[in-house]
Amino acid sequence: MRLINRLFPGFQLSTDQGRRDGRALMTSIAGISYRVVDAALKLMIIPLATHLLGIEKYGIWLTASSILSLLMVSDFGIGSGLINLVGSSAARGDTRSVRSFTATAYLAFFILACSLITGVGFLSRSAVLPHWIGINGANTSLVSQSRHLFVIMGCLVASAALFNVVNFFASALQEGYLAHAAQIAASLTALICIFHLRSGSMENFALASSLPILCAYLLLSVYVFGFRHRALAPDFRSVNFAHFRIIWHDSSRLLIATIADTVIAFTSNVLVATQLGASIVPEVSVSLQVMMIFNFVSCMFILPLWPAYVEAAVRDDWPWIRTALWRGVFRSVGAMVFGTLCYTLVYRLFIHTWSSVLPIPPLSFVLALDVWFLIYVWNKNPMVLLNALGFTSVRAWVAPLAAGVFIGTAVILLPKVGIIAIPLAGIAGALVEASITSFKALSLLSDRKMRFAISQEVTLVPEG
């Protein structure tokens, strides 16, 4: 906070409003730094990995990572629910509830981790695993290595998910920059470990790439719960299953929304492949991935506001919420406008430089893609506000509706207009969602009676 005070002397960090602004800015800067560093390091790891493992083993490692990520389905929404409850309890000074909610979340993630490890154990012995990973069953040596790799990676992913609770806890207290700092350190450490590998073993590569993040989460947990917020450390004697039901109330809704978002994010290539042929997929995927990167960076101006909204709502600081909402819109949409404009101007040169064999999409496709992601980033602002204020039910039904509109529009238009159908479908789905979430969020902020209803909904949390 001292650094923010020096760089931005206009922040009055002695006030609640200034403290929220300062912490949100620190988290945004740290989050953007992590995204940039992580993307750069992933590009640097590719030649190291292909040199150590070879193309086939590297492909097996990538596929196994994707399967395990899908099995975890993000955080099942539990982390997002924890942010609301810990943030509101901490703002009210309810230390007992904070400790109980955090301990209950650890228990929930422990159960999920055990379930994942059990599932991985069964899957590693099944006959279908080599087919999923893309291995010829005749290569018994590679099949055996892939089974060992899958078990090791499953244990690492499950353990990282368990210890990831500290990240949600830090975010709830508006200190998400601590989690991003740990992630940056883990990424750098992983690169160093991979650089010093001398073995082509997939198991060693998995350990070198995944152990650093697990260690980073462990060290962050020791620092946060042992030193920085010792009074708020989880009390496992106060685990309360009634609290789990409260966490799951929001988590289940956010899980539905996450699944719908995942459907939109991962079906574009499948839709293009099934409708137009696999050879057309690269023409869509490169620009889509670039936009995803711009989207991640832009959203780092929005996501840190989530716990700040929670605290401000508990304190009835609605003027700050309104100001922060429009400031987030300006920063996030502005960043996205800058990114899309730059890409639109240089995308032909960029794609040709990246690979001369990649097909270059028409300008109309890129322009439509720009519009899609601009609407998406705009919508992220009221979406985060509604989630923070406890109106997760809106996302629970609007996100699947948007996913249905996206898929339906794409299926209808792809045979008629070609690849531009993908961004047009994205625009249709994003407009449906943005119109509903924006109307709901703005109506809440303009209705004084509803303000008090929001305050009660957020703060009335039973103590364990």
Rg over CA atoms, the chain:
23
Q: How many residues does the chain have?
A: 464
Give the pLDDT score at 379.
Answer: 94
Question: Under 8 Å CB-to-CB from 172, ≥6 apart: which residues?
Answer: 82, 83, 84, 85, 86, 87, 90, 307, 310
Rounded (10°) CA dihedral 210, 214, 220, 222: -150
Backbone angles phi, psi at 360, to 5 degrees: -100, 120
- Residue 125 confidence class, pLDDT cut points 50, 70, 90: confident
Residue of 76 and 84 predicted with greater confidence? 84
Residue of 11 and 284 predicted with greater confidence? 284
Pick from 107-116, 134-143, 262-271, 318-327 the range whose average pLDDT is largest: 318-327
Give the pLDDT score at 461.
Answer: 38
Give the pLDDT score at 88.
Answer: 86
The average confidence (pLDDT) of the chain is: 82
Spatial CA neighbour of 311 closest among 2, 20, 6? 20
Would you call 238 exposed, middle or buried from its count of C-beta atoms within 10 A (0-12, 13-18, 19+)? middle
Q: What is the DSSP string of 373-429?
A: HHHHHHHHHHHHHHHHTT-HHHHHHHHHHHHHHHHHHHHHHHHHHGGGHHHHHHHHH
The whole-number average pLDDT for the span 145-165 is 84
The whole-number average pLDDT for the span 215-242 is 89
- Reported as a single tens digit per residue, the pLDDT across 349-404 is 888 776 666 778 899 999 999 999 999 999 999 999 998 888 888 888 999 999 99
- Residue 137 confidence class, pLDDT cut points 50, 70, 90: low
Question: Under 8 Å CB-to-CB from 250, ≥6 apart: which residues?
Answer: 77, 80, 81, 84, 85, 387, 390, 392
- Reported as a single tens digit per residue, the pLDDT across 51-68 is 777 777 777 777 777 677
Rounded Cα distance, 220 and 145, in Å: 33
Rounded Cα distance, 18 and 325, in Å: 15
For a pLDDT cut of 90, what percent of the chain falls above it?
26
3-state secondary structure of 208: helix
H or E element at residue 192: helix 176-195
| CB contact at 8 A, 305 and 324 | yes
Question: Under 8 Å CB-to-CB from 342, ≥6 apart: which residues?
Answer: none
- Reported as a single tens digit per residue, the pLDDT across 402-452 is 999 999 999 999 889 888 999 999 999 999 999 999 999 988 887 644 443
3-state secondary structure of 203: helix
Give the pLDDT score at 454.
Answer: 36
Judged by average pLDDT, the poorest of 115-119, 274-278, 324-328, 411-415 is: 274-278
Question: Under 8 Å CB-to-CB from 76, ≥6 apart: which residues?
Answer: 112, 251, 255
Judged by average pLDDT, the poorest of 144-148, 153-157, 160-164, 410-414 is: 144-148
3-state secondary structure of 261: helix
- Reported as a single tens digit per residue, the pLDDT across 19-41 is 788 888 888 888 888 888 887 78
| CB contact at 8 A, 162 and 106 | yes
The whole-number average pLDDT for the span 91-106 is 88
- Residue 108 confidence class, pLDDT cut points 50, 70, 90: confident
- Reported as a single tens digit per residue, the pLDDT across 167-201 is 889 988 988 899 989 999 998 998 888 888 877 77
Tokens matching residue 95: 């230390």
The whole-number average pLDDT for the span 227-232 is 92
Tokens matching residue 27: 């988290």
Q: Is the pLDDT of residue 73 over 60?
A: no
Give the pLDDT score at 453.
Answer: 38
* DSSP 8-class letter at 225: I
Rounded Cα distance, 306 and 328, in Å: 11
The dihedral sign for the CA sequence 270, 271, 277, 279? negative
| CB contact at 8 A, 1 and 13 | yes
Rounded Cα distance, 138 and 76, in Å: 37
The dihedral sign for the CA sequence 239, 242, 246, 248? positive
Tokens matching residue 392: 């997760």
* DSSP 8-class letter at 42: H
Q: What is the Cα 434 distance to its own chain's centre?
A: 19
Give the pLDDT score at 70.
Answer: 61
